[in-house]
Amino acid sequence: MEYVMTRTTAEWQAADAAHFLHPFTDFQALAKKGSRIITSAENIYLRDSEGHRILDAMSGLWCVNVGYGRQELIDAATRQLRELPFYNSFFQTTTPPAVELAELLAEVMPPGFQHVFYAGSGSEGNDTVVRMVRRYWDLQGQPERQVIISRWNGYHGSTMAGASLGGMKYMHAQGGLPIPGITHIEQPYWWLHGRPAGLCRAEFGKVAAGWLEQKILEVGPEKVAAFIAEPIQGAGGVIVPPETYWPEIQRICDQYGVLLVSDEVICGFGRTGHWFGCQTVGSRPDLITFAKGVTSGYIPLGGVMVGERVAKVLIEQGGEFEHGYTYSGHPVACAVALANIRLIRELKLVEHVHDELGPYLAEQFAQLGEHPLVGEAQTCGAMGALLLVKDRASGEAFPGELEIGMLCRGHCFGNGLIMRAVGDRMIIAPPLVMTLAQVDEMVALIRRCLDLTLADVRARGWMP
């Protein structure tokens, strides 16, 4: 509460509007409305400057896996700040936390991952991916293998390379993206692409994976460096692909020798009920991008885990890799990540998601799926989505201009629940420490907000 005492909410808002350009924000619209000022947090609850208690069903931004206020992480940061707040790893130097974290990551990663390249965020991690896969093929004597395939509506960050890999068309529209050598295929979103075509989920999974093969053949297999995807699309709306999708993707990558990159910035560190999402969907990636949950968001850190196939070539034939960041292996970030991963182990959070939280959430979401506004309910581990539709029977969507998601999100905010709207999909990714009683509390809030949204929609005459 210390910060709040120093200024009123209106004063914070005025200063915020005067100087702070927020990410992914219409500056003028926000200035008019005023930001909500989050002042403190504990476990899964936030507090704002007006004293409201808010259940954070989004883990901040998909990252606070161990929940807020964990003393272990705070102590790790403070200790390391006192001992050595910074030193670089460029000049044949290293620091104990960076080494220990590299070792621990190799331990928790799927087999075959023994090396890490550190970055400061998920976007930077994916910039590293672009540099690294192209370098790999250069060293393999196939410099023409430059093209990276990714998916529409995938999210891979907001730097030039990250946004280019991502498939958000509204991002490409600003700043001349994508950069050359990146091309996209359609996403495995059954509701949008499979259902209207009359395909069952299993059939659709294979069809959607087949789009990768078509693209590889169109580009020319000798020109394709890598395919990058999130195991489960996060920012795109928590889209869980059919079970048939990933095995077929793996087969195609194997057949054409294309490197597979698993962007696990959201799916990593227990989110899906395994340590990594590739273990949940059954893929065998060559590179894994991580960030967010690696430190539970307490401090920025990201990076790329490098599997044997690529590591061997980079190390044995590569010479100097002309790439790196000032904060690659930042000792304080690495110390916090170490404490975070140890805590995930100690609290058995991966097991908790796999055995308790995930199955219970799935059950509760299936019930929410019966709500008159909901066309489809999906979960995977500790993430979930509710698709809002105008007509459950026909699957008819609300007209886009009604912004049904934003309407529902408004009710959530007004009722002490943070749930995100992605188009018509209402999504959650709560802290992994969430108890089953807290799931009940969250689901009751979601239900109330769906009811309020339904009443609202009927009052406006959008629905009978």
Ligand X SMILES: *Cc1c(COP(=O)(O)O)cnc(C)c1O
Kindly list the residues in this chain that would bind ligand X in the complex (CB under 6 A): 62, 121-123, 126, 155-157, 230, 234-235, 263, 265-266, 291-292, 302
Tokens (6 digits) for 356: 């308790």
Residue number with CB closer to ligand X (230 or 286): 230
Residue number with CB closer to ligand X (294 or 450): 294
Taking residue 24's Cβ as centre, other Cβ atoms within 10 Å add up to 7
Residue number with CB closer to ligand X (70 or 292): 292
DSSP class of residue 285?
A: -
Tokens (6 digits) for 45: 């609850």
Residue number with CB closer to ligand X (13 or 164): 164
Residues 394, 285: Cα–Cα separation, whole Å: 38
- CA-based max dimension of the chain: 69
Residue number with CB closer to ligand X (56 or 230): 230
Residue number with CB closer to ligand X (266 or 305): 266
Residue number with CB closer to ligand X (122 or 188): 122
CB of 325 to ligand X, least distance (A): 12
CB of 179 to ligand X, least distance (A): 16
CB of 154 to ligand X, least distance (A): 8
CB of 227 to ligand X, least distance (A): 15
Residue number with CB closer to ligand X (24 or 91): 24
Residue number with CB closer to ligand X (55 or 235): 235
Residue number with CB closer to ligand X (122 or 241): 122
CB of 157 to ligand X, least distance (A): 3
DSSP class of residue 289?
A: E
DSSP class of residue 312?
A: H
Contact status, residue 303 vs residue 383, Cβ threshold 8 Å: no
Tokens (6 digits) for 407: 């309407």
How would you list the strands of the sheet with 302-307, edge to edge? 113-119, 302-307, 287-290, 259-263, 224-229, 147-151, 182-185
CB of 164 to ligand X, least distance (A): 12
Q: Is 240 helix (H, G, I), strand (E, B) or coil?
A: coil
Q: Is 462 helix (H, G, I), strand (E, B) or coil?
A: coil
> Which residue of this chain has its Cβ atom nearest to ligand X in the complex?
122
Element (H, E) at 210: helix 201-219
Cα–Cα distances in angstroms (integers) from residue 246 to residues 150, 179, 240, 255, 346, in the given order: 14, 27, 11, 14, 31
CB of 281 to ligand X, least distance (A): 14
CB of 119 to ligand X, least distance (A): 9
CB of 129 to ligand X, least distance (A): 10
CB of 427 to ligand X, least distance (A): 12
Residue with token string 């030193």: 87
Nearest in space to 58 (alpha carbons), one of 67, 49, 50? 67
Element (H, E) at 133: helix 122-139
Nearest in space to 279 (alpha carbons), one of 264, 297, 258? 264
How would you list the strands of the sheet with 425-428, edge to edge? 374-380, 383-388, 425-428, 420-422
